[in-house]
Structure 1
Amino acid sequence: MVSRGFDREKRLLTARHFTAVFDSPDAKVPGKHVLLLARENGLDHPRLGLVIGKKNVKLAVERNRLKRVIRESFRHHQQTLVGLDIVVIARKGLGELENPELHQQFGKLWKRLARNRPRPESPPEPPGVADSSHA
């Protein structure tokens, strides 16, 4: 059972963690005023990183509110996101959304991300391997 908390292990903490997701995301999920990038992390829990720049969300109080709401939403949906490193990139206009709308939007984004993720259990077989057993 994945703990519902948001402790240190659930965060992308280093530039290297962020760069790994930016450089080769396994999934991209665009939303209204936001983009989610995700990459398999090989761990038994998801990790979250937030990119909410001053350029797109001017006021610190708004940036902090967004971070709180996004982390809270992530906490409630993390059991469906196990094994992913996720970076949330805020775009212009995200700070104007009210909290209920943010919760609703992120609920949908997490579900889309969970649906769109590559399935590590069944990697695609290289051509020719599947029919070699009939030889």
Structure 2
Amino acid sequence: MDFPRHLRLTRPGEFQHVFERGRHRRLSGQGLMVRVRENDVQYARLGLAISKRNLRRAVDRNLVKRLARESFRHYQSKLPAVDIVILSQPSLLGMPNSDISQQLDLLWQQVQRQYSNRPRLN
């Protein structure tokens, strides 16, 4: 299963929209932080901001990205129309893959709970 371009945040302006002040949420898990903001499209989109500052080795950053994309694919149909940016934290280093996946699952569930019943912004 691939990760189509329309489900990704690809442009700097799309990331900036999520980080701007206004009606957005910051959710934290152990080692991960998620910024969420409602979007104008009818589906959830994912952006990854896994920094070299927190995860020095490319292999570690790529692993986190792969796990995040795979987890998003499983939850994408259940998520409301929001843009989501995942950020890494230093405590992620050395965490087992199963723990990272579990943190992602919890974050998707939080997004689902907090945004599913909200009225749409225009």
Where structure 1 has 5 or more consecutive residues not aligned to the other structure, the ranges are 124-135
Question: Which amino acid counterpart does residue 119 of structure 2 have in structure 1?
Answer: P
1:115 aligns with 2:95: no
The aligned residue for residue 132 of structure 1 is none
Q: Which runs of 4+ in 1 moved over 4 A?
A: none
Deviation of 1:5 (Å): 4.5
Deviation of 1:107 (Å): 0.5
Deviation of 1:31 (Å): 0.9
1:79-128: CA deviation from partner (whole Å, max 9, x where unpaired): 1213110000101021321111111111011001111126025x8xxxxx
Deviation of 1:72 (Å): 0.3
TM-score when normalising by structure 1: 0.81
Where structure 2 has 5 or more consecutive residues not aligned to the other structure, the ranges are none
Structure with bigger gyration radius? 1
Q: Which of 8, 19, 22 lines up with 1:22 in the alignment? A: 19
CA RMSD between the two structures: 1.7
The aligned residue for residue 13 of structure 1 is 10
Contact 2:32 2:103 survives alignment (8 Å)? no
State the alpha-carbon separation in 2 of the partners of residues 115 and 27 from structure 1.
Answer: 12
Contact 2:38 2:83 survives alignment (8 Å)? yes
1:92 aligns with 2:90: yes
After superposition, where does 1:20-99 map in structure 2 within 5 Å? Answer: 20-24=17-21, 25-99=23-97
Question: Which amino acid counterpart does residue 18 of structure 2 have in structure 1?
Answer: V
